[in-house]
């Protein structure tokens, strides 16, 4: 009787091996497609969350209308270590911090000497700012543009 089952067992083994190879091939195909999609998405430049549009440049080398891209955490000041460097003698080395939290932009003065202003009001605490609000640091005036 065991001889009668030999060809059946061999066929089952071959079938199982073919199923395993088919499964592995399917997994490789899915991974390959996912990698191609991820690669195409990585090639597309990411749009900044928002921008500051220069209104008055003060002593800066920028011109009115120039755009400064914002990241979720953007520090501003005179020091070269800032994400946005403001070469203005009235700006402190580390002057202000812009952060994107819970769908809103917040601006915070970092104990600067001359203060940070939003719509000509001096900041005394972290403040929510929105599209069109004007931020003044030193002699530099910038309008927040979102979206």
The CATH number covering residue 105 comes to 2.60.200.20
Q: Please count the structural domains in the chain.
A: 2
* pLDDT tens, residue by residue, 62-81: 789 999 999 999 999 999 99
Q: Side-chain half-sphere of 78: how many Cα atoms within 13 Å?
A: 14
Same domain, 57 and 33: no
Residue 60 in this model has a pLDDT that exceeds 80: no
- 3-class DSSP assignment, residue 136: strand
* pLDDT tens, residue by residue, 82-112: 999 988 889 999 999 999 999 999 999 999 9
Same domain, 103 and 132: yes
Q: How high is the pLDDT of residue 30?
A: 94
Confidence label for 41 from pLDDT (cuts 50, 70 and 90): low
**Last-in-domain residue among 12, 28, 44:** 44
Q: How high is the pLDDT of residue 87?
A: 86
Same domain, 40 and 62: no
Range of the domain at 118: 50-146
- pTM beyond 0.75, yes or no: no
* pLDDT tens, residue by residue, 115-145: 999 999 999 999 999 999 999 999 999 999 9
Task: Say how many residues make up the chain.
Answer: 147
Same domain, 74 and 135: yes
Same domain, 67 and 109: yes
Beta strands per DSSP E along 1-147: 50-56, 67-70, 73-77, 84-85, 96-101, 104-109, 116-118, 121-122, 127-129, 134-137, 140-146
Q: How high is the pLDDT of residue 124?
A: 95
């Amino acid at each position: 009787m065991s001889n009668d089952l030999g060809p059946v067992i061999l066929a089952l083994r071959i079938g199982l091996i073919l199923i395993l190879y088919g499964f592995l091939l399917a997994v490789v195909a899915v991974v390959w497609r996912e990698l191609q999609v991820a690669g195409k998405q990585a090639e597309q430049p990411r749009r900044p969350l928002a921008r500051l549009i220069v209104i008055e440049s003060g002593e800066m080398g920028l011109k009115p209308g120039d755009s400064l891209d914002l990241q979720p955490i953007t520090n501003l000041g005179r020091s070269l270590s800032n994400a946005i460097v403001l070469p203005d003698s009235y700006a402190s080395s580390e002057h202000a911090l812009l952060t994107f939290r819970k769908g809103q932009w917040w601006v915070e003065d970092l104990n600067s000497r001359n203060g940070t202003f939003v719509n000509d009001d001096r900041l005394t605490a972290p403040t929510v700012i929105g599209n069109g609000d004007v931020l003044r640091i030193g002699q530099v005036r910038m309008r927040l543009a979102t979206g």
